[in-house]
């Protein structure tokens, strides 16, 4: 299979959620918004997700499930889907990465990698 045949562009924006966080008890809440763009010539449906979330202590959480935010969006060529979700860490800095399992109309499954991104309380990183 030609992997370039099926390609998604994934962009991430993150935000620290101060009013839901409680640093005194090591609870740091982050929101992230992900934009998925189908840059291939073929429609594809997002079937599932797999996240690896690592905090500054090296604690790893893995999260898998069907779709995203209760949806399994189908993206035609050039279409985008945007959603927001969140993560809770025990440290003010962490990182996330993962993959989406996609399926074409022909029933071909492929993984779309989600590049690593940083979650950080403002001012903790230079």
Q: Could you tell me the pTM of the whole model?
A: 0.90
Counted domains in the chain: 1
Query: Domain for residue 11, yes or no?
Result: yes
Asked if residue 94 lies in contact with residue 119, where contact means CB atoms within 8 angstroms, the answer is yes
Which distant-in-sequence residues (6+ apart) come within 8 Å of 86 by Cβ? 17, 29, 30, 31, 32
Would the CA dihedral through 18, 86, 38, 118 be positive or negative? Answer: positive
Does 64 fall in a domain?
A: yes
pLDDT, tens digit, 9 for 90 and up, residues 67-106: 999 999 999 999 999 999 999 999 999 999 999 999 999 9
Exposed e or buried b per residue across 15-42, where buried means at least 16 C-beta atoms within 10 angstroms of its C-beta: ebeeeebeeeeeebbbebebebbbebeb
Q: Is residue 125 part of a domain?
A: no
Q: What percent of the chain has pLDDT over 70?
A: 96
> 31 in a domain, yes or no?
yes
Angstrom CA distances, 18 to 6, 86, 92, 96, stand at 38, 13, 11, 19
For residue 39, tell me if it sits in a domain: yes
Domain contains 126: no
Give a yes or no: residue 87 inside a domain. Answer: yes
Residue 86 lies in a domain: yes
Tell me the residue range of the domain where 25 lies. Answer: 3-120
CA 68 to chain centre: 9
* CATH number for position 57: 2.60.40.1470
Length of the chain: 126
Mean pLDDT of the chain: 94
Residue bearing the bigger pLDDT, 5 or 115: 115
pLDDT higher than 70, residue 35: yes
CB 60 within 8 A of CB 53: yes
């Amino acid at each position: 299979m030609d992997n370039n045949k099926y390609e998604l562009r994934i962009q991430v924006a993150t935000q620290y959620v101060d009013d839901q966080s409680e640093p005194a008890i090591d609870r740091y809440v982050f929101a992230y918004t992900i934009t998925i763009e189908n840059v291939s010539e073929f429609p594809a449906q997002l079937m599932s997700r797999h996240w690896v979330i690592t905090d500054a202590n090296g604690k790893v959480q893995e999260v898998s499930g069907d779709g995203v935010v209760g949806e399994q969006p189908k993206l035609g060529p050039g279409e985008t889907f945007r959603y927001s979700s969140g993560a809770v860490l025990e440290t003010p800095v962490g990182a996330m990465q993962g993959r989406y399992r996609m399926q074409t109309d022909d029933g071909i499954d492929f993984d779309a990698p989600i590049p690593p991104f940083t979650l950080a309380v403002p001012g903790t990183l230079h």
